[in-house]
């Protein structure tokens, strides 16, 4: 990289405060290569940063470059010119979780677009070479930015006992929920029940293989709506809560069979989840929380996407250049589409 090279960058400075400008490029560190970023997917976790200037118990402490769903082309070194998808989780490889093969729980994690580690909403960035997975020409640039959420969906699926013939519920049909619907179809689930508050996402779930899909209201009042009653009557063996809302978790608890499992993938606002304990206790349910993906999931996602059996491009509803990053985040906040992509 030329000394003093300028890079176009989008940083979040506070709630709903995205600023695009020119910055000096960061130095390429040991074990890193320079990456020309082609595509960045905006995630539900990015929406937390945008709307709340926080996610979970992490607070925005400095202007931060968001973006952890990214792909690009390696600029330097022996792999120059290679198209790659990026694993955003730079684990230490030495702590107990890493040694157990659970690097997503690394105690010294550096994650793109989180804490002190800038993400991919910039034209050029350095990233550990070991975390860049080659992608074939059969996967388009925009589709490559959906491989990280596909990896998260694969990890969530691995945390469940879903097998052929299972009845499964997916509560929340954003990108990861819709990817789960597709993966469950491929795994041979006999029924996939999908729900969301937004009609266009429910329609997408039907198109991607849900055997039944319902629009549910957002009201958490004392009287359960007719739509929610119908959803809760659809008994399932396993449920995936992918919306981050207490209402969706309540629906999952009501629908899953006694002794069943709920995998919680969604991230709630203000870092708190609540549910009625009585029904969950009477059924002796297992609540399994899911965090990101493990190292083997991204190569698996690339392999699966290369077969063409998944409809990744159909998830992408909006594309913006980096110069319009503020508009991209506004669209994300409107929830008018499914996957928003920024093309640096």
Confidence class for position 330, pLDDT limits 50, 70, 90: very high
At 178 the three-state DSSP class reads helix
- Asked if residue 155 belongs to a domain, the reply is no
Alpha helices, DSSP H only, in the chain?
44-52, 96-99, 141-144, 147-158, 175-187, 199-207, 226-232, 246-255, 277-282, 297-306, 325-334
pLDDT score recorded for residue 152: 96
> Domain count of the chain?
2
- Asked if residue 154 belongs to a domain, the reply is no
- What is the rounded distance in angstroms from the CA atom of residue 43 to the CA atom of residue 69? 8
Pairing of strands 236-241, 256-264: parallel
Q: Does residue 117 sit in the same domain as residue 181?
A: no
Q: pLDDT tens digits, residue range 189-219?
A: 999 999 999 999 999 999 999 999 888 876 6
What CATH number does the domain containing 49 carry? 3.90.180.10
Q: Does residue 196 sit in the same domain as residue 310?
A: no
CB atoms near residue 62 (< 10 Å): 10
pLDDT score recorded for residue 228: 79
Containing H/E element for 88?
Answer: none
- Asked if residue 189 belongs to a domain, the reply is yes
CB atoms near residue 138 (< 10 Å): 10
Residue span of the structural domain in which 45 resides? 6-147+294-343
Residue 321: both structure tokens together: 């250049």
- Asked if residue 152 belongs to a domain, the reply is no
- What is the rounded distance in angstroms from the CA atom of residue 120 to the CA atom of residue 137? 22
- Asked if residue 1 belongs to a domain, the reply is no
Q: Does residue 133 sit in the same domain as residue 164?
A: no
pLDDT score recorded for residue 178: 96
| % of the chain with per-residue pLDDT over 70 | 97
Top pLDDT among 335 and 269 is at: 335
Q: Does residue 253 sit in the same domain as residue 125?
A: no
Containing H/E element for 240?
Answer: strand 236-241
Q: pLDDT tens digits, residue range 145-200?
A: 999 999 999 999 999 988 899 999 999 999 999 999 999 999 999 999 999 999 99
Residue 92: both structure tokens together: 């230490």
What is the mean predicted confidence (pLDDT) over 12-28? Answer: 91
User: Which residues contact residue 183 at a Cβ distance below 8 angstroms, ignoring those fewer than 6 apart?
Assistant: 153, 154, 157, 310
Q: Which residue has the tokens 């400008």?
A: 21
Q: Does residue 95 sit in the same domain as residue 52?
A: yes
Listing from the earlier edge strand, what are the strands of the sheet with 286-289?
212-215, 191-196, 167-171, 236-241, 256-264, 286-289
Contact present, 242 and 201 (Cβ < 8 Å): no
Q: Does residue 266 sit in the same domain as residue 143?
A: no
Q: Does residue 135 sit in the same domain as residue 212?
A: no
pLDDT score recorded for residue 260: 92
The DSSP-derived string for 244-258 is --HHHHHHHHHHEEE
Closest CA to 166 of 149, 146, 148, 186: 186
Confidence class for position 221, pLDDT limits 50, 70, 90: low
What CATH number does the domain containing 168 carry? 3.40.50.720
């Amino acid at each position: 990289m030329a000394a003093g090279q300028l890079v176009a960058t989008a940083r979040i400075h506070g709630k709903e405060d995205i600023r695009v400008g020119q910055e000096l490029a960061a130095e390429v560190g040991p074990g890193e290569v320079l990456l020309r970023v082609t595509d960045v997917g905006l995630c539900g976790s990015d929406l937390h940063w945008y709307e709340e200037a926080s996610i979970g118990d992490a607070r925005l402490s400095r202007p931060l470059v968001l973006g952890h769903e990214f792909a690009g082309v390696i600029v330097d070194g022996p792999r120059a010119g290679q198209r790659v998808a990026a694993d955003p989780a730079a684990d230490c490889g030495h702590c107990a979780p890493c040694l157990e093969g659970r690097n997503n729980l690394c105690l010294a994690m550096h994650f793109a677009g989180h804490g002190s580690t800038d993400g991919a909403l910039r034209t050029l960035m350095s990233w550990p070479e070991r975390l860049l997975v080659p992608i074939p020409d059969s996967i388009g640039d925009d589709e490559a930015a959906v491989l990280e959420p596909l990896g998260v969906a694969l990890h969530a699926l691995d945390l469940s006992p879903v097998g052929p013939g299972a009845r499964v519920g997916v509560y929340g049909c954003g990108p990861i929920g819709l990817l789960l619907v597709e993966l469950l179809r491929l795994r041979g689930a006999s029924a996939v029940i999908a729900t969301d508050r937004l009609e266009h996402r429910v329609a997408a779930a039907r198109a991607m293989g849900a055997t039944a899909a319902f629009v549910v209201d957002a009201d958490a009042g004392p009287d359960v709506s007719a739509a929610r009653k119908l959803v809760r009557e659809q008994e399932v063996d396993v449920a995936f809560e992918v919306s981050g809302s207490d209402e969706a978790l309540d629906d999952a608890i009501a629908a899953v069979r006694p002794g069943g499992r709920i995998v919680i993938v969604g991230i709630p606002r203000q870092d708190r989840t609540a549910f009625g304990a009585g029904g969950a206790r009477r059924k002796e349910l297992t609540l399994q929380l899911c965090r990101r993906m493990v190292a083997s999931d991204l190569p698996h996602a690339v392999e699966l996407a290369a077969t063409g059996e998944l409809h990744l491009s159909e998830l992408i509803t909006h594309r913006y250049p980096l110069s319009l990053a503020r508009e991209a985040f506004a669209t994300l906040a409107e929830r008018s589409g499914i996957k928003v992509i920024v093309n640096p």
